Structure 1
Amino acid sequence: MSERPASGAKVLKEVGGFEIIAKVGQGAMGAVFQARQKSLDRIVALKVLPPHIAKDRNFIERFVREARASAKLTHPNIVAGIDVGQDPGTGLWYFAMEYVDGPTCKQLLQQQGRLSEDQALKIARDIAGALECAHQNGMVHRDVKPDNILLNKSGTAKLADLGLARHQDDDAHLTQSGQALGTPFYMAPEQVRGEIDHLDTRADLYALGATLFHLVTGQPPYQGETSAVIMAKHLTDPVPMANRVCPDVSSGTSKLILKLMQKDQAQRLQTPRELIEQIDRLLKLPAAARGLTTGPRIPVKGAATTAPREAVRPRAEQPPALQPAAGHKALLYAGVGAGIVLLLGIAVLLLFSSGQPPKTAKVAPQPVPVAEPPVPPATEAQPVVAKESPVPEPPKESPLERRWREARAFAEAQPTAFDEILKRYQSLVPASAGTPLEAEIQVEMADVERKWAAAAKEALEALEKRIAEAVANGDYDAAL
């Protein structure tokens, strides 16, 4: 260790009644230390604001705001705030909070690549509980992401870093209107558009959906070379299905993420409580049994495949009701017997009566040849049916042509979903090799890439302009 950190360690031996033990992290707004609160003899996490940043009043206000927000929200899934202030001896601003003895979800992803579906769902449920607490207190976190979710040794997830949290009734003077705040990988479309005054708990649910996608697949839902490209995808690209990125993810969890990440706030789950109920339904089932729906329709879908069939069977057994009652059976059998006797009597009269009936009996064979003519018509009717056989001929469109037509139809319906359009076009390249469609597909792909680059450039220029305006106005909080 260099001498410079050593001298720093000497300066930070104690701050505001907290004895420094070790440095455990470094964030955008200062270092985080493991410390001991001397008055209560307990271990805490102590965030200290660097002197050069503390010169900016905006950062101090944001720093204090985080501490106060944590103090207002008392919940087992929220990192509890303990104390905030300025050390009289060093002049350093500090914020003491609950010490969580475990990694962040970001660190877990770095170690494992992705989490099991069950673990990810349990973490999402814990954070949904934290968001429900914030929602009940009229607060929006605005920066839900893997790096702000900590796990203790028992596996309980806790939401941290309320630095961007804001009460929905607060004035937006601390954040310039029209500026996007949050982390691009998990930012809701309304945050991307800078609609700070219109953010509510649904923006946090979107971010949690994007976080859940990352946990179960090992990658964020949208990726790009710049923040501008990623943010543009949140605005325009279709929500990717997690089970297409990682087949091990159940369709139920994939659809839940899809619901959380709808572009339109009104199409998402509306409260964290709804999300908790959905996750509870999923966790009651093994992953293999988690179907396409996660809401109350799950029982209905099951009934559609089994219950109706069972309901129809009793009706199929109803014909016995058409049978005559026991009292009428004797009359029925007597009637049938009388009919048979009558028919036999007529037959006897025809066969054995004198006179010309025998000649009539000879005529009887003539109906036999008469019955033969119907046979040829039956044979002649078959060629007519054979002439209609061309019906199964329609498969004129090859599978490749059909897929190409469907891909172009999608491109027309979603012209700004560049990433998904390219994926669909690229999937056709191997099959189109050496066919007339090969050149056409390549031309269309080049056109999509050109449009995508132009849109990304436009979005980046707009973002840089907004950042420059924020810096020019001295609003560094918004510029971040």
Structure 2
Amino acid sequence: MSSALASLGPGVVFARDFRIVRALAEGGMGAVYVAEQLSSGKLRALKVLNPDLVADPYSREQFSLEARIGGQIGSGHVVEVIAAGVDEETEIPYLAMELLEGEDLADLLHRRGRLPTHEALEIFEQLGDALAAAHRAGVIHRDLKPRNIFVARSKLRGMPFVVKVLDFGISKLITHNATSVTVTRQLGSPLFMAPEQARSGAKLRRSTDVWPMGLLAYLLLTGRHYWRSVEGEGVSLNALLMEIAVHPIDPPGLRVMEQGLDPGLLPAGFDEWFLRCVERDPERRFADAGEASEALRSVLRKRHASMMESEPTVVRVLPGMATSGAFPIAPSGPRARVETPVSQPVSTPWSVTQNPSAASAVIGPPPSGSSAAVAAGSSKRRWPVAALGGLALLVVAAAVLALRRGDPPSASTGQRRYAEPSAADAAAEAAPGQPAPVEVVVVQQTVDAGAATDEGATEQSEPAAPPAHVVRRATGRITVGADPPRCEVSVDGRVVGRSPVFNRVVSAGEHRVRCRRPDGRVMQRVVRVPGGRETEVIFPAE
């Protein structure tokens, strides 16, 4: 640190209007301090240029460019510059910017590891909005990396965080008559740097920023870097540059499996989107950040729509309830009843479901009164009906559950789409010594043993197993925010997390949403959630 910067200790007044509170960060270009602006009484982030670079015209230009760019872009995702100038006493240029509360993406990922899918996508969407605004203003960032992406606490109600793109000091402005700029210095971080940035004299364009967008999206969704050469210890810069410039770029789905991660972390269609972002030929990438962001949104919309169309209603059954003649299912969705012969428990088919390695049962809600009809039938034909029906339903259950196990996490929630268990379920699961609940899919139709038979049929004839099909129920999503955040959120009496809660999948219809604040105060609303749509619930400050 130079002597001039070393003298900026707590209490020192800089440029007549800023009293230094503490040092915040230091880098090659200069240092950042928390300072009180005397004219407004507010805390600011005071960025000063390294005195050793003051005499360098290029460094001074890059420093002052950051002040101009913020106003030119006009986005809430770019740090606001409040004042800029030169300190008369030291002749050091400075920028006074809004002071952000939060942490950069590198620290966030280091602290928390891989983020929930919905949160990762929200961060990326805001990043895309920031870059799209910059590209519309003719600005190329050139150094996108986790350290330059700041996840700040939002000052807006209902918005838990806001992404700010930092360090536009090495950005380049594109004039209205040009579509690219020429590289005169190698700028950018190698892990996220487009290949053309390593070539002196190469043309940079808006698609230069699209390259790191693909790599950042992979990092956000998986918590891991894409490049093989950075795995393990002793990372070689030459090996990394060779991989970026020469080696084949494999689909992300393959890299996820190589890294031992769940392929479901990546939404369907992500491979194609990513590979277009990291085309080595800039002309073959998305033209700019806006096009890249919209393409990923389209991928996510299509995936979510297909998942909403195919979502079954699921209920949960406790195996211990299976031996009664007619038992209730915990109400996680439409109520259903399972009918078995009253005088004889169906022991053989159900014993399969009590084996943890076996498939769960598929049980159908019968018409009203069918239990009596079954009980009134001949004892000689009661058992074939139950046995064949149970066997057929078990086969359907195995197929349905096999398909459900392969169902990837939702792009909007990052969770597999099982219906939420009720409070009764939770209590039953918590009881010591009780078997784990079995998930079943509600199917329709049961055999009416008292129905008329074809002429000539004997009493011992065995009716065919009933057809079964999955009952489908419309679903929607709830997003819950609160000011201040971190209130305990419950939906229909079940705690689902602390605000913000994003894209919670629920059945279409009315739901009771409650927010319990840290001080114990409770706010509650009843909202109607349309099928296939998202409903936002915001609890404002009182």
- Give the structure-1-normalised TM-score: 0.54
Bigger mean CA deviation after superposition, 150-159 or 5-14: 5-14
1:217 aligns to 2:222 (yes or no): yes
Counterpart contact for 2:33–2:47, Cα < 8 Å? yes
SS in structure 1 at match of 2:110: helix
CA apart distance, 1:77:
1.1
Counterpart contact for 2:8–2:20, Cα < 8 Å? no
1:126 aligns to 2:126 (yes or no): yes
Aligned to 1:267: 284
Aligned to 1:241: 251
Aligned residue identity for 2:53: I
Structure 1: how far apart are the matches of 2:129 and 2:51? 36
Counterpart contact for 2:30–2:49, Cα < 8 Å? yes
Aligned to 1:107: 107
Structure 1: how far apart are the matches of 2:182 and 2:148? 23
Aligned to 2:242: 232
SS in structure 2 at match of 1:114: coil
Aligned to 1:137: 137
Deviations 1:295-319 (A, max 9, x none): xxxx9xx9xxxxxxxxxxxxxxxxx
CA apart distance, 1:284:
4.5
Residues 16, 141 of structure 1: alpha-carbon distance in 2 compared, 3 angstrom cutoff: farther
Aligned to 2:46: 46
SS in structure 2 at match of 1:156: strand
Aligned to 2:209: 204
CA apart distance, 1:185:
0.4
Aligned to 2:90: 90
Aligned residue identity for 1:270: A
Aligned residue identity for 2:215: A
Aligned to 1:34: 34
Structure 2: how far apart are the matches of 1:189 and 1:229? 14
Residues 141, 21 of structure 1: alpha-carbon distance in 2 compared, 3 angstrom cutoff: same
Superposition CA RMSD, Å = 3.3
Residues 127, 24 of structure 1: alpha-carbon distance in 2 compared, 3 angstrom cutoff: same
Residues 177, 271 of structure 1: alpha-carbon distance in 2 compared, 3 angstrom cutoff: closer
Counterpart contact for 2:269–2:299, Cα < 8 Å? yes
CA apart distance, 1:268:
1.8
1:449-468 equivalence runs, <5 A: none
CA apart distance, 1:236:
1.4
Match of 2:275 among 258, 261, 264: 258
Percent identity, please.
Answer: 29
In terms of fraction of residues, the more helix-rich structure is 1
CA apart distance, 1:17:
1.5
1:188 aligns to 2:194 (yes or no): yes
Counterpart contact for 2:67–2:84, Cα < 8 Å? yes
Structure 2: how far apart are the matches of 1:206 and 1:129? 16
Aligned residue identity for 1:279: L
Structure 2: how far apart are the matches of 1:253 and 1:16? 52
Structure 1: how far apart are the matches of 2:95 and 2:226? 33
CA apart distance, 1:273:
2.2
Deviations 1:306-351 (A, max 9, x none): xxxxxxxxxxxxxxxxxxxxxxxxxxxxxxxxxxxxxxxxxxxxxx
In terms of fraction of residues, the more strand-rich structure is 2
Residues 42, 170 of structure 1: alpha-carbon distance in 2 compared, 3 angstrom cutoff: farther
> Which segments of 5 or more consecutive residues in structure 1 lack a partner in the other structure?
292-298, 303-480
CA apart distance, 1:288:
12
Aligned residue identity for 2:251: M
SS in structure 2 at match of 1:212: helix
Deviations 1:391-415 (A, max 9, x none): xxxxxxxxxxxxxxxxxxxxxxxxx
CA apart distance, 1:283:
4.8
SS in structure 1 at match of 2:24: strand
Deviations 1:89-135 (A, max 9, x none): 23222111222211000111211233233222221211111111111
1:287-436 equivalence runs, <5 A: none
CA apart distance, 1:255:
3.6
Aligned to 1:281: 298
Structure 2: how far apart are the matches of 1:180 and 1:64? 20
Residues 219, 287 of structure 1: alpha-carbon distance in 2 compared, 3 angstrom cutoff: farther
- Give the structure-2-normalised TM-score: 0.48
Deviations 1:326-382 (A, max 9, x none): xxxxxxxxxxxxxxxxxxxxxxxxxxxxxxxxxxxxxxxxxxxxxxxxxxxxxxxxx
Bigger mean CA deviation after superposition, 39-48 or 94-103: 39-48
